[in-house]
Amino acid sequence: MLITNATLLTLDAENRILEDQAIYLENGKITAIGPEKALQAWYPDAETLDAGGQYVMPGNVCAHTHFYGAFARGMSIPGPAPKDFPEILQKLWWPLDKALDSDAIRLSAQIMLADAIRNGTTTLLDHHASPNAIDGSLDVIADAVRQSGLRAILCYEVTDRDGPERTRAGIEENVRFIEKYAIRNTQYESATQQISNQQSPTPPLPHSKISATFGLHASLTLSDTTLDACRNAAPEGTGFHIHVAEHEADEYDSLEKSGQRVVDRLHKHGLLGPRTLLAHCVHVDAAEIALINETDTWVTHQPRSNMNNGVGAAPVESLLRAGVRVCLGTDGFPHSMWEETRFAYMLQKAHHRDPRRMPGNLLFDMLAGNNPALAGSFFPDAPLGILAEGAHADLIFVDYHPHTPLTPENLPWHVIFGFHESMVTTTICGGQVLMHDRKLHTLDEAALAAEARELAPKVWARYEKYTEKYTEKYTEKYAEKYTEKYAEKYTEKFAAKV
Ligand SMILES: [Zn+2]
């Protein structure tokens, strides 16, 4: 397919803005970029997609999300509003994930994937939980991803909070899925190559737009035994995707359980490294930041979620200054990565009461550099997140008409103050057109929304049932645990905090 009449934002090392360009896509990759007339002459018979002079740029990446949260929209939480993040977990997320059956998992994923296509986000790292439907849940999501045409890295969050049987089931679900996708995926290219040399039909290998990692909930719901079991069960070369220090409770709990802070505890159990992703890290201290950097572990920042949960502002600049690769995710909010970037920009300034904090160019490096570098490590057969020959053909058309000059140097501030997801008109992933002129091709949004509206009352009814149980079970247990009593107890250990 030949895309014509495009203004390219290449976002590669040269970071060029090129007018009157064409891009040729073949077998999921960008195979040629050049002046429109030249490419039209080279590919006279190619199917053509006219970009109408719009900006054409790489699709966005979301480094941390939860498809399973789709039914939370508009849902009411019974009783008094949760007063802090541990209560949000107990009253909202833990009963909701229990309410999900296979249909609800599929629909949640489809709804979220349609949202991602519309918002121009072409790759997502999802973190899934459904304690009453664990076995095969990642296959249900993978089917939805395949149908959508997007790229995703999936995992199941292992936790001890629902008993040892479900802990084991969660571990098995990760291992099964990793063996099916992540490991065989890295062999995909060479196998395809060998088979095409023999001129046989396409091999029945897993879809190359799906990969996997090993999911863990958070230190505060995982025992030492389970951490070791996960480490030992994870196939060679696998990394972990886990929430870290989203709220002080995670640090208090870790200090109580092990005498160590969360990052130190995870390191002791062999869970850090260049394939591991830590979500949030709002309450990590200087030593934890140093350890994250030493082990070359990834971090992802979700400012909208942090603000909504009232958990504080992550030390993003300290992490970056230490050398940590920090990405951006949505944590289940709409997959609008420019909006997430805008919130990240504002949050640090508001939090520190200093407009110099969180410079736009640093933030843009996270969005356009770290996010695709992380996602690309799961799809290593081609570069991801740049417009260049040989790169994955994941791109979007943006109907943006700047009223001031747009240059490679000031692009971050155009993105922060000017770009909006409603300007995304076309989304392409792996060379497949998923949305054109704002019309989705692979998912029927209206039909999915109608089906979800039918199902929502049933999911909500099950949720309410579990909420009552959770409230009874945990209110007493957690009320004492996560209050000032612990904060006081650990004040000294928190003194080193950046
Ligand atoms: Zn999360």
Ligand 1: distance of its center to the CA of 333 in Å? 10
pTM, full prediction: 0.93
Ligand 1: distance of its center to the CA of 244 in Å? 9
pLDDT of residue 15: 95
Which residue numbers in the chain have pLDDT < 70?
A: 183-207, 470-498
Place of tokens 């995703």: 152
Please, are residues 152 and 112 in contact by the beta-carbon 8 Å criterion? no
Ligand 1: distance of its center to the CA of 92 in Å? 13
Q: What angle do CA 267, 272, 276 make, to 5 degrees?
A: 155
Ligand 1: distance of its center to the CA of 292 in Å? 19
Ligand 1: distance of its center to the CA of 492 in Å? 28
Q: What would the pLDDT profile of 182-217 be if each residue is shown by its tens digit?
A: 765 555 444 444 544 554 444 434 458 999 999 999
Ligand 1: distance of its center to the CA of 331 in Å? 5
pLDDT of residue 475: 55
For residue 18, give the 3-state DSSP assignment: strand
Ligand 1: distance of its center to the CA of 472 in Å? 25
Ligand 1: distance of its center to the CA of 410 in Å? 32
In angstroms, the CA 209 to CA 220 distance is: 32
Please, are residues 279 and 332 in contact by the beta-carbon 8 Å criterion? no
Please, are residues 333 and 305 in contact by the beta-carbon 8 Å criterion? yes
Ligand 1: distance of its center to the CA of 114 in Å? 20
Ligand 1: distance of its center to the CA of 30 in Å? 33
Ligand 1: distance of its center to the CA of 64 in Å? 6
In angstroms, the CA 440 to CA 434 distance is: 6
Ligand 1: distance of its center to the CA of 90 in Å? 14
Ligand 1: distance of its center to the CA of 403 in Å? 37
Distance (Å) of CA 244 to CA 4, 131, 278: 45, 21, 6
Ligand 1: distance of its center to the CA of 222 in Å? 16
pLDDT of residue 206: 44
Ligand 1: distance of its center to the CA of 197 in Å? 43
pLDDT of residue 497: 43
pLDDT of residue 195: 46
Please, are residues 291 and 267 in contact by the beta-carbon 8 Å criterion? yes
pLDDT of residue 469: 73
Can you give the length of the chain in residues?
Answer: 498
